[in-house]
Amino acid sequence: MNTNMAVCIAVIAKENYPLYIRSVPTQNELKFHYTVHTSLDVVEEKISAVGKALGDQRELYLGLLYPTEDYKVYGYVTNSKVKFVIVVDSSNTSLRDNEIRSMFRKLHNSFTDVMCNPFHNPGDTIQSKAFDGIVSGMMVQTA
Amino acid sequence: THMAGQEEKPIIYTMENKPIVTCAGDQALFTSLYTSLAQQLPREPMEWRRTYGRAPKMILLEANFVQFKEELLPKEGNKALLTFPFLHIYWTDCCDTEMYKSSVKEDMMRWQNSLRTHGSSDWVIIVVETNDTKKKNKTNILPRSSIVDKIRSDFCNKQSDRCVVLSDPLKDSSRSQESWNSLLLKLRTLLLMSFTKNLGRFEDEMRTLREKRTQPGWSFCEYFMVQEELAFVFEMLQQFEDALVQYDELDALFTQYVLNFGAGDTANWLGSFCAPVRNWSGLLLRRPIDMEKRDSIQRGEASLLDLRSYLFSRQCTLLIFLQRPWEVTQRALELLHNCVQELRLLEVQVLEGALDCWVFLSCLEVLHRIEGCCDPAQLAANCSHTVGLWAAAHTGTVHHGVPEPSGLDFTLHFNSLQSPYKKLKEALSSVEAFERHYLELSHAAMEMYQAIGRLRSARLVGKSLAEFYMRKGDPERAETFLQEALKSYVSEGWSLPVTHTRRQVAECQKLLSKTEDYLQTSALLAGDVNLTTDERKHFCQEILSFTGKSGDQSHKVTLSMGVFAQLTQLKFHPAAASVHSGAVLQVELTLRCLMPVSVRIQQLVASIHFEVDHGGTHGRSKGAQRRTHPGTVVFRQSNSSAGPPSSAGAGPSLELDEIQDRSPSDNSLNSTGVICKNTHLLMRRHDSNSPPDTPNCISPPTVGIKEGAQMLKVQDVTLEPGNNSITFTAPPGTYTLRQLCATVGEVQFILPHIYPSAQYEVYSQEPQLTVEPLSEPLLAGLPQKVKFTLLTGHYTVKKGDALQLSNTETMPILPSTSCTARISSPTSELVGESTLSIQSSEKVTSISLPPAPPYHTLEFQLEVLCIIPSGADRPANERLTNGEVRHRPRSYSHPDTPMTAIDQRMSIDCPWSIYSTLLALTFYIPFKTKHSLLSAGNRKYIQVCVQNVSDVNFALAEVKLTEKQHASLELQSLNTKTQQLLCCKHSVFCLWEVRWKDDLPSCLQCVFSANFSPLSQDISAYKPFHYQFQLERVTTLYSVKAEIFPPAGEQRCRSGVLCGLEVCITRLTEPAEGEIAEDSKTETDGPKTTKLMYEVADSSSNWAVCGKSSGMVLMPMTANATHKVQIEVMPLFAGHLPFPKIKVLKYLPHTAAVAIQPDPDSCVENDSLSLLDKTLDDQGDTASIRSRGSVHSVGSGDQQQKGVAMPRLEPFSPGQVFNHSHACQVLVLPATDDHIMEVNAT
């Protein structure tokens, strides 16, 4: 198995609507939508807490947002307040914090590339093959 | 009591545990000192230096003093630390040497020996010294020191500090206090030394044990007990942080093993934890140590839940000691998730529901424990963790499955009647109670979430609550929660949750018989692309089957259009959205139907609103359709059901205008800015939570279609899925489209506002007549075609209707044989053609029009000729047929073209109006003509220059010059060609010699005429062209002759050497009449003379004039009178130098009246020049003097005329003075020959 094993990856706009959300197709997509949406509560909480503390020198990686019985939800927020959420299966114990960080970093880089595309209208949902590819690489492969 | 207690139970697992210190020797003595000792020992902290680089700590030392017994000493291999005696004290107050020798020493020896056998080196001997003892045994008194010395020498080999003296311990003296202090310090030091040594040894052993964990037979439980022992000691020493570290290490170690197990790396000892879960009694946090679970761990019989529970309870206890209760909740949540995960990893068999019970009980237990030890403020600050627990408790309950809680096989050990158990027991006892508990928990969780601002989480709990209510058959309550959740998903644009929740809402609404709401929701779902086609069809069918019901006609359900179809585009045909009442204006709507199947609509209605204000401004489209694509309004969609509510995609666009604030006084700019004109629309979006243009899922629109409004209607349309085009025909008037309504049976879909607004206009139009050139520019002098266009408007052109054109001389209408009129329809289709009959009378040209229907266009062409004004003469004002004064068309120069323009006006009487229509055409004169008089002595020549300033090439023929007044005058043409090419931007010069018999008239009235035609056309197309001009003072009065003489004795002039200039002015003619009259005023008697002024001026600086360069000459006014003037000049250069210019001017003495020449154009300026401010070098040019007079304005001219008479100079007209030596040159040699010219050849 690949070391990168997310079950759901989502990019959420500043205004909190999903720009991109993909989950492992065999699993309940709707459940992930609910999970990611609910995680925004914690993201917002963390952003406001961090914002007060450090001003502009803040860490983009928000860490584990919250665990549920089945999943661990990690968050990351760009300086333009675009949120990345990665959901990992709780049983997947091989993932370390550093690996999650590097996943987010990869995601952020690819997202930046999407934004640099002059034909992409910021605020639109992401429809980029390159981005899809990066996300696919991080997702659990279902044979 | 302490001593007594010791014997019964050596190990007490309570907080009263203290390090054990044994006391041997004189028990009575110790008992007397015990209280003070136990009190004073922990009074002052000691610094505890730690091994392994751990930070030193201040520590308060307590001790449990017990009587020394051999059994207390640890046997080999005993790992118990808690019962480990850290220090051994021997008490004695012996001061008698004999007694010491006889008994005490022996006792000490025994004590020492047993210590040594058990390898304990932490001991001290305390010698108590009192005055009483001294007094009692006065006889055998030895110095105290000797006993101490003896003891030291006997026992304390090199450690003299192992024997301490305590003086007068029961007295309240400074000496006694001092002695106490030193004793206490000693005891503390020794205790710490012992801790460091023994704990260090213990830790080393523990580590060794841990290193063996890969060996077979290693047991985690065994190791657990060992490390916990260390934790206990730290706890005993009140080093809770260190104690917690021990448990955390154990926790991590265990977790790692479970993870390794998951990765396939099995440890044997894990087997016991894989046993099926038989006990799920939850966490127990009330007691510091759950002995039951500890025992089971010690026996290696603990289940995973047991171990986790025990470990957590210990951690919880320590965290509470550390006053970090919120960490308990956080860890609890992790623990709960973790345990569930670990059970899964270890594939432990768990009875269905057991885990949920455990989670539920544990949550409640944690909450209960935390609430008990936290103040409310602290609780609120950290409730984000707590709320997680509530939520977990809540989910735990959900997992139970509501219908059959009694189906579980409960073997719970309800041995304690603590509240979580009571609750669970009660909850599981009956369905009702369970539900009550469930609701209680859910609401608590929701409230907590809301309180801390986690609204999304609260709504998710609310949603599951709604699902519960739905199962309970209470859709009313369910709907409230669902709507709440739906609203948040809609507003944040999460389409999948929206669809899911909306389906649940639909279910509620159906159950509640909320017909309108249900239909609205159904419509939204029918158009929801997240659903399968079958599902969408189902919801669409729900609507259609409702519409099919033959219900009460009065009860119509009104729904928002947006859920059913979207108006995407509105298009006007024609695009101007403005037609006259005879034409057809069509409004084409593009409706995107969101339904999955085609839907038949009985009626589609667009209501329109009459605009009163815009009645007069027809022909202009207004509103949004003007902006980018004329006639098309594109409606942006606010994606209501799915997709991102991106700021760009929704809501009206900004309408911005620039504003400038200018100062009223000088119009300077004070400020400038941009204002938004539609703030009221934009701001509303932000203020309220539900955007106005989002088809609201919560409440259907209450706006119905306005009654009595005018409508555009179409009947029986079938809307296919996707885009549909519907066309309306617009009735006359100016209307704004307001609403749209589609009727399907009993259901009306209404779009309450069409925004951006679209307006159209069907108007009535007056007939319009325009005349425009067929080709630009219209050239004067040639027949030109002009196009007459008549828009008939509402007027019907009848047979016999005619246009009456007032004729003008300057622009006759040329009769033409075939003049046809074209009649075309408003859509520019040719309807008919007919020949026009044109009748011209003297004053009027009448054009009979063919009959034409209203709102048609009638076009015909006429040929007109604009006669080029010949220049000089000016016809008297004429009167037009309608009595209006005709102004002579004045020519003017046009900025865009070098040609002179003439505006030619036309007055046309039209049958539909009593007023004449005035139209103007602008013609351009293709030529510019100039003339000049040339002289050669007495002979005169006239030159005419015709310049073609147009873009057309012309042929010029029959060039002629005539003089009107003097028959005797002969003008002999010197032009050789009869026909000449005159290309554009080129000029043709013509020359005539003037011949006369008797006298040359002083004034000549000349007419230049020529025929011209565009080069491409034949001879018949030649048109005449006239140019009139007048020449005055033609006769040559004087001839001027100059000669330059070299200096005396020289052959040639030399540069730098003075030479003579002789100017000879000769009168050629007898005085003319006008001249006499002028001069007779000045010289009343004596010979008739006139004064001339001469001037030698060398503009090119070739000559230096020495002495006077100008002077006055008195000329007799007789023929051949000559005057010679000698002037010395010096050439400045060598070579052929032109003669210096010699000018001759009329000198008018101050008495002479100002000769005002009557100017034909009434220009009041005169030609007089002031002596003072006029340079006189350009008057000889061929242009007429008059033109100069009209151009310049001498600054002092006005003053002169007002009476201050000054001598004046007046130039002669060209031709009056003939200069013989005009272009003569003289050869000037260089000054000397020996000038060296340097030539460099390279």
Q: Nearest-CA distance from A29 to chain B in Å? A: 9
* Distances from the Cα of B923 to the Cα of B805, B893, B899, B907, angstroms: 18, 11, 9, 17
So what's the pLDDT on residue A11? Answer: 94
CB atoms near residue B81 (< 10 Å): 22
| Architecture of domain A4-135 in this structure | 2-Layer Sandwich (3.30)
Identify the burial level of B127 via C-beta atoms within 10 angstroms of its C-beta, where 0-12 means exposed, 13-18 middle and 19 or more buried.
buried
- Chain A: give the shortest CA distance to residue B491, in Å: 9
When pLDDT is averaged across residues A116-135 and rounded to a whole number, the result is: 90
Residues 6+ apart with CB under 8 A from B665: none
Q: What is the rounded distance in angstroms from the CA atom of residue B106 to the CA atom of residue B128?
A: 18
Cα dihedral angle (B283, B289, B290, B294), rounded to 10 degrees?
A: 120
- Residue B748, pLDDT score: 84
By DSSP bridging, strand B1141-1148 and strand B1089-1097 are antiparallel
- ipTM rounded to 2 decimals: 0.91
- Kindly list the distances between the CA atom of residue B545 and the CA atoms of B533, B548, B636, B833, in Å, as whole numbers in the listed order: 18, 5, 31, 61
Of residues A16, A29, A91, nearest to B341 (C-beta): A91
B345: chain A residues, CB-CB within 8 Å: 91
Quickly name the fold that domain B1036-1071+1088-1149+1208-1233 has: Immunoglobulin-like (2.60.40)
**What CATH class does B926-1032 carry?**
mainly beta
Classify domain B556-611+630-635+705-764 at the CATH class level. mainly beta
CA distance B905 to B903: 6
Residue B1072 near chain A (CB below 8 Å): no
CATH of B20-132+144-210, one of 3.40.50, 3.30.70, 1.10.3470, 3.50.30: 3.40.50
> Closest residue of A to B452, CA-based?
A45
Cβ atoms B962, B971 nearer than 8 A = yes
Cα gap B638→B645, rounded to integer Å:
7
Task: Choose among B396, B281, B348: nearest CA to A68.
Answer: B396
Do B709 and B609 contact (CB within 8 A), yes or no? yes
Domain ranges of chain B: 20-132+144-210, 212-405+416-453, 454-549, 556-611+630-635+705-764, 768-871+896-923, 926-1032, 1036-1071+1088-1149+1208-1233
Check for a shared fold between B768-871+896-923 and B1036-1071+1088-1149+1208-1233.
yes
CB-CB neighbors (< 8 A) of B496 in chain A = 29-30, 33
Question: Both tokens of residue B1100?
Answer: 């090119």
pLDDT recorded at residue B881: 46
Burial of B286 (0-12, 13-18, 19+ CB in 10 A): middle
- Chain B residue with Cα closest to A18: B494
pLDDT bin (cut points 50, 70, 90) of residue A116 is: very high
Whether the CB of B493 is below 8 Å from some CB of chain A: the reply is yes
Q: Distance (Å, rounded) from C-alpha A92 to C-alpha B772?
A: 86
Q: Touching check for B174 and chain A: CB below 8 Å?
A: no
Cα B756 to Cα B593, B685, B710, B724: the distances in Å are: 20, 16, 19, 20
Q: Give the CA diameter of chain B.
A: 193
pLDDT, tens digit, for every residue of A4-57? 588 999 999 988 999 999 988 767 888 899 989 989 988 888 888 766 555 555
> CATH number of the domain at B768-871+896-923, please?
2.60.40.740
Residues of A in contact with B263 (CB under 8 A): 93-94
Strands B758-763 vs B733-744: parallel, antiparallel or unpaired: antiparallel
How buried is B402 (Cβ within 10 angstroms: 0-12 exposed, 13-18 middle, 19+ buried)?
middle
What CATH number labels B454-549?
1.25.40.10
Chain A neighbors of B647, CB-CB under 8 A: 15, 123
Residue B489 near chain A (CB below 8 Å): yes
Query: How many residues are given for chain A?
Result: 143
Q: Phi/psi of residue B1067, each to 5°?
A: -80, 130
CA distance B96 to B138: 10
Residue B1138: Cβ-neighbour burial (10 angstroms; 0-12, 13-18, 19+): middle
Amino acid of residue B775: S
Interface contact B263-A67, CB threshold 8 A: no
Measured between beta carbons, the chain B residues lying within 8 angstroms of A15 are 492-493, 644-647
Bridge partners (DSSP) of residue B991 are B943
The whole-angstrom separation of Cα B1201 and Cα B403 is 125
Q: Taking Cα atoms as reference points, which of B125, B101, B117, B157 lies closest to residue B22?
A: B125
Q: With b meaning 16 or more CB within 10 Å and e meaning fewer, what string describes B716-737?
A: eeebebeebebebebeebbbbb
Backbone φ, ψ for residue B710 (5° rounding) = -80, 150
Amino acid B1197: pLDDT: 41
Quick one: how far is CA B1044 from the chain centroid?
85
Q: How far is A109 from chain B (nearest CA, A)?
A: 23
Range list of β-strands (E), B937-1034: 939-948, 954-963, 970-973, 979-982, 987-995, 1003-1014, 1023-1032
Phi and psi of B572, rounded to 5°? Answer: -100, 140
E strand residue ranges, A68-121: 71-77, 83-89
Helix (H) or strand (E) holding B185: helix B174-211
Both tokens of B884, joined, read: 């209006």
Q: Cβ–Cβ of A125/B454 closer than 8 Å? A: no
Residue B649: closest CA among A75, A125, A37, A28: A125
Backbone dihedral region of B1112: left (phi > 0), alpha (psi from -120 to 50 degrees) or beta? beta
| Spatial contact of B1152 and B1123, defined as CB atoms under 8 Å apart | no
Interface contact B344-A125, CB threshold 8 A: no
Give me B1217's structure tokens: 């003075």
Q: Peptide bond preceding B1158: is omega within 30 degrees of 0, i.e. cis?
A: no
- Select from B762, B767, B784 the least CA-distant residue to B775: B784
Distance from CA of A142 to the nearest CA of B (A): 19
Q: Looking at the complex, report in whole angstroms how far the Cα of residue B386 sits from the nearest Cα belonging to chain A.
A: 13
CA-wise closest residue to B392 among A68, A62, A35: A68
- Tell me which DSSP letter residue B347 carries: T
Q: What is the pLDDT of residue B640?
A: 42
Distance from CA of A16 to the nearest CA of B (A): 6
Which one-letter amino acid corresponds to residue B1178?
D
Q: Please tell me the distance from the alpha carbon of residue B1186 to that of residue B1189, in angstroms, as a whole number.
A: 5
pLDDT of residue B1168: 36
Compute mean pLDDT per 10 residues along chain B, 1242 residues long, and list them. 37 60 83 81 80 78 80 70 82 78 83 82 82 53 65 75 78 80 85 84 86 83 86 84 89 85 75 76 74 82 84 86 79 79 80 70 72 54 50 49 30 35 59 73 77 82 85 87 90 90 91 86 87 90 80 70 85 79 82 88 85 50 50 69 40 68 79 78 48 40 59 87 88 81 84 78 81 84 86 84 83 77 84 84 84 86 83 44 52 73 85 84 87 85 89 86 81 84 88 83 85 77 84 84 84 84 84 52 58 81 82 81 86 85 80 46 36 38 38 40 63 83 84 66 70
Distance CA B709, CA B706 (A): 6
For residue B199, CA distances in Å to B192, B221, B242, B682 come to: 10, 21, 12, 73
For the four alpha carbons of B131, B136, B138 and B143, in that order, the dihedral sign comes to negative
Q: Do B388 and A66 touch (CB under 8 A)?
A: yes
Integer Cα distance of B111 and B24 in angstroms? 8
Q: Is the pLDDT of residue A2 over 70?
A: no
Distance of CA B630 to the CA centre of its chain: 26
Q: 3-state DSSP call for residue B748?
A: strand
Q: pLDDT of B386-404, one tens digit each?
A: 555 555 555 544 444 332 3
A vs B, Cβ pairs < 8 A, gives 82
Buried b (16+ CB within 10 A) or exposed e, B742-774: bbbbbbbbbbbebbbebbbbbbebebebebebe
Q: What residues have CB less than 8 Å from B640, skipping those under 6 apart? A: B490, B524, B562, B563, B694, B695, B697
How far apart CA A55 and CA A62 sit, in angstroms, is: 15
Residue B1220, classed as helix, strand or coil, is: coil
In the prediction, which pLDDT does B554 show? 58
Residues 281-300 of B with CB under 8 A from A: none
The per-residue pLDDT for B1178 is 40
- Chain B residue with the nearest C-alpha to that of A68: B337
Q: What are the distances in angstroms from CA B903 to CA B782, B893, B906? A: 15, 11, 10
Taking contacts as CB-CB distances below 8 angstroms, the residues of chain B near A45 are 384, 452-454
How many other C-beta atoms lie within 10 A of the C-beta of residue B1014? Answer: 16
Chain mean position to CA B161? 84
Tokens of B273: 């934890």
